[in-house]
A = this chain, B = another copy of it.
Amino acid sequence: MDSYSPFVHRIKKLELLDSDDFAYAESLIKSEIIVDAGRFIIDAGNLQKQIFFVLSGWAVKYKTLENGNRQIVNFVLPGDIIGMFSPIFQYSEHTVESISTMKLGCFPADQLVSTFRDAPRLALVLAWMAGQDERILEEQIVRIGRRRSAKRMAHLLIELYRRLRICGYTREQAIILPVNQLLLSDALGLSHIHTHRVFRELENHQLVERLPGRLILQNLAMLSALADFDESYLEPTSLRKASLAL
């Protein structure tokens, strides 16, 4: 299945899986579905029966507050897995909602455990992906807790760019994202109005540009410098193999 390329890109740098592993992985996928923008893929408080591999498209993972505000916890991009912990928890704490058309590979949540038993190398890769997710959450905490709005925004945009990059997207100095200012503000913990002003500032410095429905990073070098971006937390070769008896 060619559409698995984001995963292939992401994983091949680990130099861990052979073609048998890939075959096994593909056999796990029982079906693929197409989802429109604006659909709930995981809904907070619900039992989740599927795990989804994101083959294409974007989503956001967020929590909604008592007062209706929301905070986006992370973006979900091609090559990510949605609901990896769902076999373990009775219900989800957050909501995952598509922000573009998506193609998802599904497999039943109750087979994750057997995968861990039967395909240890594959399990290891899944655990590594969960660990990367956790690193990204931690960086989001730092970003929101200790960076001022302009750096905060620049930092997030670069993270998204790098993550797409790793999965084989964004050839040129560009990210193409269906992200509007509301989404950005909910991810950054800012009001949408301030988000707009900050974004405008980046635009005025020719760092970013915006076309209808998409967002381009024009000057990645300057943006990275502005954001003090240190990519180590996204390192696609960070898997530790030496100590693993496989």
Contacts and interface: CB of A to CB of B under 8 A. Distances in A.
Interface of A: 47, 63, 65-66, 69-71, 73, 85-91, 93-94, 109-110, 113-114, 116-117, 120, 123-124, 127-128, 130-131, 133-135, 137-142, 144-147, 188-189, 228, 230, 232-233, 238-240, 243-246
A168 B154 CA distance: 43
A124 B88 contact: yes
Given A93-B232, A110-B244, A137-B137, 17 more contacts: A70-B146, A71-B141, A71-B145, A73-B141, A87-B240, A88-B131, A89-B128, A89-B238, A90-B238, A93-B139, A116-B120, A117-B120, A133-B134, A134-B134, A144-B189, A145-B188, A145-B189
**Copies of this chain present:** 2
A233 B44 CA distance: 11
B245 A110 contact: yes
Contacts of A189: 144-146
A87 B123 CA distance: 13
8 contacts: A63-B142, A66-B228, A71-B145, A88-B127, A90-B239, A116-B116, A117-B120, A145-B189
